[in-house]
Amino acid sequence: MFNTRRAALAVTCSLVLGGLAACGDDGADTSETGDPPASSDAGGGDLPERIVSLSPTATEMLYAVGAGDQVVAVDDQSDFPEGVPVSELSGFEPNLEAIIGYEPDLVVADALPDDVVTGLEAADADVLLLPAAATLEDTYDQLAELAVATGHEDEGAEVVAGMRADIDEILASVPDRVVAPTYYHELDDTLYTVTSSTFIGELYTMAGLENIGDAADPDGTFGGYPQLSAEHIVTTDPDFVFLADVECCGQNAEALAGRPGFAGLSAVVEGHVVELDDDIASRWGPRVVDLFRTIVEATAGLPVG
């Protein structure tokens, strides 16, 4: 059975990239290998025909740029678009032999331990690591990189251009407020959140909102993903609460109001608790446009003055 709480932990770990003790440090190297797959070589290497994706975000990107027919297996957390070849492979706990069993010539992941990368390369599989985006530009860059690596450079450019146009259109609808509304974005029910230095936080900033989580990680010690206290949330009393832990942790407006001291939050009283799609709110692929649209539309009704 799909373990949504474990999935939430995997997502949080992927976003934080080892910055939280809760993720556990297994000595994995989360940096990029630095060597692009042969197919991305302008000299004309062979294009990958058997791709394994160990990242839900990478899976969405691969299909968005038109490389879906080359994907032979995706990890157990990949569920979009519908019909992807889901397997028992884990990007959180990668099994070298299991991955090699799919005979990939390209493996894409957020991060992999050094020994897994070495083993894959020894089996003649290229490895492309695309770590969690820190900015929206990172998303565009990764889409373009994947498109080139898989032989879909033109399609990738079209996807990025379309995303930029959609973001600009939504951005144009953001009201020019005198005072920025405040918000709290909840990653899970242990009160992990994001700051404005993350790609998620960047979207909220573009939507004209002020993050109550910034004060909890002013120097970036927690990589932009600090854990707040209930007291901090109650004291700062955000105008909006965005829940990205609806599916994983059973959270919703009612559950939030039932927490000690939370019933009096302005967001609860005014009906400004927004229940997000967990996946869309945690992946930095093409659907960041949908997340941005949700944020802007959810806050549009607040008075400008």
Together in a domain, 140 and 203: no
User: Exposed (0-12), middle (13-18) or buried (19+): which is 270, by Cβ within 10 Å?
Assistant: exposed
Q: Are residues 197 and 83 in the same domain?
A: no
Per the structure, how many domains does the chain have? 2
Positions of the chain with pLDDT under 50: 1-9, 17-44
Residue 20 included in any domain: no
Whole-number CA gyration radius for the chain: 20
Cα 15 to Cα 36, 134, 255, 275, distances in angstroms: 22, 9, 25, 20
Q: Is the peptide bond before 113 cis (omega within 30 degrees of 0)?
A: no
Q: Considering the domain boundaries, does residue 17 fall inside one?
A: no
Residues 205 and 162 in one domain: no
Amino acid at 79: D
pLDDT at 16: 52
Q: Are residues 146 and 255 in the same domain?
A: no
Q: Is residue 37 part of a domain?
A: no
Q: Do 159 and 209 belong to one domain?
A: no
Give the per-residue pLDDT at 14. 52
Whether residue 103 is found in the same domain as residue 157: yes
Q: Which of 166, 194, 227 is the last residue of a domain?
A: 166
Helices (H), the chain: 4-16, 56-64, 96-100, 114-122, 136-149, 153-171, 199-206, 230-236, 246-249, 253-257, 266-269, 278-282, 288-299
Which residues, other chains included, contact 82 with Cβ-Cβ below 8 Å and sequence gap of 6+?
A: none
pLDDT for the residue numbered 4: 40
Within a domain: 215: yes
Q: Are residues 71 and 89 in the same domain?
A: yes
Nearest to 280 by CA among 173, 192, 166, 203: 203
Domain for residue 121, yes or no?
Answer: yes
> Does 32 fall in a domain?
no
Residue 16 belongs to some domain of the structure: no
* DSSP code per residue over 240-299: EEEES-HHHH---HHHHHTSTTTTT-HHHHTT-EEE--HHHHH--STTHHHHHHHHHHHH
Q: Are 179 and 187 in contact (CB under 8 A)?
A: no
Same domain, 153 and 72: yes
- Domain carrying residue 59: 4-10+46-166
pTM of the model: 0.85
Q: Determine the pLDDT at residue 7.
A: 47
Assess if residue 245 is contained within a domain. Answer: yes
For the domain that residue 194 is a member of, what is the CATH number?
3.40.50.1980
Q: Decide which of 166, 189, 223 is a domain's last residue.
A: 166
Q: Quick one: 220 and 147 in the same domain? A: no
The residue from 166, 195, 210 where one domain ends is: 166
- What pLDDT sits at residue 271? 96
Same domain, 222 and 134: no
